[in-house]
Amino acid sequence: MINEKMEKAFNRQINAETYSAYLYWSMSAALEYMNLPGFANWMQVQAQEEMTHAVKFFRHIMERGGRVALTAIDGPPTGWKDVEDVFKNIQKHEEHVTSLINDLMDLALTEKDHAAVMFLQWFVTEQVEEEYMVHEILGKLKVAGTASAALYMLDREMAQRVFVPPTTAQKVQG
Ligand code: FEO
């Protein structure tokens, strides 16, 4: 059974992951207004992934006999200068999420909660991937600069991203 400290911390993380989805939806809208539908699509997929992260924490609490307590989600910002500004903000945001995951791992280790340690390992790897993905896109945006043809090509590339649901995230016990 999950202890109270871990339960509280995981409930806070449900909120943080759902906030991430809110943030990326807000960015998706902003990018569509910038006439970048491919980037807007990329951000929609990112938001969907964040919701699966929230569901993973939800399931972990439930499957270990804890209580899920959902709390209000803050409103995300709405204004960004351009697409590079959006991705610089994502970079900052994901670095923050990485620090949250690291704090959860520290707590799980202190509490000797081995199940939580195993569970959180997926998130440690995921954060490395997410930070790298954003770093890569920022690099491409720097190369594209203000050249509209390059940005147009990049937008078409971003349109290719599709949502692939993780197999365990949506599991609901019958
Ligand atoms: Fe759920 Fe982008 O970390």
Per-residue pLDDT reduced to its tens digit, 48-99: 999 999 999 999 999 999 999 999 999 999 999 999 999 999 999 999 999 9
- Quote the domain boundaries for residue 98: 4-69+80-173
In a domain, 115, yes or no: yes
The structural domain count of the chain equals 1
In a domain, 74, yes or no: no
Indicate if the pLDDT at residue 44 is higher than 80: yes
Separation of 50 CA from ligand 1 center, angstroms?
Answer: 5
Tell me which DSSP letter residue 82 carries: S
Q: How does pLDDT run across 118-162, given as a tens digit for each residue?
A: 999 999 999 999 999 999 999 999 999 888 999 999 999 999 999
Pick the atom of ligand 1 nearest to 126's CA. Answer: 3
Pick the atom of ligand 1 nearest to 53's CA. Answer: 1
- Which two tokens mark 117? 């340690």
Separation of 35 CA from ligand 1 center, angstroms?
Answer: 25
Pick the atom of ligand 1 nearest to 97's CA. Answer: 3
In a domain, 146, yes or no: yes
- Residue ranges of alpha helices (H) inside 145-168 are 148-158
In a domain, 118, yes or no: yes
The pocket around ligand 1, CB under 6 angstroms, is made up of 17, 20, 50, 53, 94, 97, 130
Q: Is residue 160 left, alpha or beta, with left meaning phi > 0 and alpha meaning psi from -120 to 50?
A: alpha
pLDDT at 174: 39
